[in-house]
Amino acid sequence: MSFKERVYSLLRKVPKGKVVTYGQLAKMAGKPRAARAIGVFMRINPDAPRTPCHRVVASDGSLTGYSAQGGVKKKKRMLVEEGVFFIKDKVDLAKSCLNNRYTFTS
């Protein structure tokens, strides 16, 4: 499985109501210094919404981009509808980010 395929596979396991940062996803996929590559993969995601790229956020909770129609406003709306918590325009990472102990179930 390629790095990109692994990233998409892991992202599909992030549950509704939770987000993951670009850096976390890179680390989970085995390349902790590849956060920028994760951003590229999200932008070219061929399988949205099955691969929920809207659940990937910046390390400070910012919604740094969303290439689908509606942009960041749509991304925030989707996350709110899924139960993600916000403080103004940033995700409340303490409440909504996967923690390091989180394990995926098959």
Residue 25: exposed, middle, or buried by beta-carbon count in 10 A (0-12, 13-18, 19+)?
A: buried
**Is 18 among the domain residues?**
yes
Taking a C-beta distance cutoff of 8 angstroms, is the pair 34, 22 a contact? no
Report the CATH number at residue 14: 1.10.10.10
Out of 20, 29, 53, 84, pick the active-site residue.
53
pTM, to two decimals: 0.91
CA torsion sign for 35, 36, 37, 41 is: positive
**Is there a catalytic annotation at residue 97?**
no
What is the helix (H) or strand (E) element at residue 93, kind and residue range?
A: helix 93-96
Q: Which domain holds residue 69?
A: 3-96
pLDDT digits (tens, 9 = 90+) for 11-70: 999 999 999 999 999 999 999 999 999 999 999 998 888 999 999 999 999 998 787 888
pLDDT number for residue 65: 78
Q: How many domains does the chain have?
A: 1
**Is 101 among the domain residues?**
no
What is the helix (H) or strand (E) element at residue 76, kind and residue range?
A: helix 71-82
**Is 102 among the domain residues?**
no
When pLDDT is cut at 50, 70 and 90, the band that residue 103 belongs to is: low
DSSP-derived letter for residue 55 is: G
